[in-house]
Amino acid sequence: MYIVDNYALAIIFCVITMLCWGSWGNTQKLSSKKWAFQLFYWDYSLGILLITLLIALTMGSFGDQGRSFLVDLSQAGGKFIFFALIGGIIFNFANILLVIAIDISGMAVAFPIGIGLALVLGVITNYIYNPAGNPVLLFSGVLFVTIAIVLDAMAYRQILKKDSKRAKKGIYISILAGIAMGFFYKYVAQSMASDFISPEKGKLTPYTALVIFSVGILLSNFVFNSLNMYRPITGIRATYGDYFKKGSPKLHLIGILGGCIWGLGMSFSIIASEQAGPAISYGLGQGATMVAAFWGIIIWKELKDLPKSRNWLIYLMFLFFLTGLGLIIYSKNG
């Protein structure tokens, strides 16, 4: 299987993760006017499984290092399969909440608050499990990110002063999504071997863990997304019949593309985690917040109603977030 063998390459992989994780939300925005986001989410989940399976059968099966995907799957221990599945289930719960938050408040708000909070919690939980990196630099970066989250929430509330109920709802759901999102990655990391070249018996290579994680997402969808379809927190009620009757090939492909984009990012993050460490790999990948905020502000004009006198909140948010990410990257060698 293919293995990342140096820190610099691991950082490149994490940057690709950041771009993927920050961009998949555009596919939801593209389909939202014609397609209930609950229905979009079925195709999105399928896309994640398809891309991780493709990567496992290619990058995870070629080469003479580690264990190939099918060999690894055949020897996988039940405990470690369970960890990967739980990671997928927790992620799915969190991500559905994030999708709901995007529908209420847009990418420029849901991502900085939800994913920013996930970054903070994810770095802390992953560092406790695998303490890689200078803690002073790492947690200083987390502090800067936290301040950026607060600034973004302040900007959003300025826009929706006349609709404070909607503003609070969008913020609260983003926060709940972020709390849940902060815990999924550690379970995936716990399912994997600590040495990818000579993986321990029973534990999973990253490629196998990714596929099982994706299965966990798809299976839990029948609970989480079904509830969201028939008892939606926001948006219109949807049915399984709508999925087959109203979905055009184009709409289905947009959803699958969104899942493939996110799944590619997740795969690169996990593959890079041995060299970067889970805390740094996850934390840097969640720089996706700034990518999503860029899309939301520049392309989708989600903060166009922000008073000009409050634009400093956005500039300062970007500054604090980028500073925090820089500290997280440098913490490995600091």
Structural domain contains residue 1: no
State how far the Cα of 321 lies from the Cα of 329, in Å rounded to an integer. Answer: 12
pLDDT digits (tens, 9 = 90+) for 102-116: 878 777 778 778 888
Structural domain contains residue 254: yes
Domain assignment of residue 291, given as a range:
7-330
Instruction: List CB contacts of 187: < 8 A, sequence separation 6 or more.
Output: 83, 84, 86, 87, 90
State how far the Cα of 309 lies from the Cα of 154, in Å rounded to an integer. Answer: 13
Structural domain contains residue 107: yes
Q: Which of 180, 174, 234, 217 is nearest to 32 (CA)?
A: 234
Confirm whether pTM is higher than 0.75. yes
Structural domain contains residue 2: no
Our count of domains for the chain comes to 1
Below-70 pLDDT ranges, the chain: 157, 159-164, 167, 334
Give me the pLDDT at residue 57, please: 97
Structural domain contains residue 185: yes
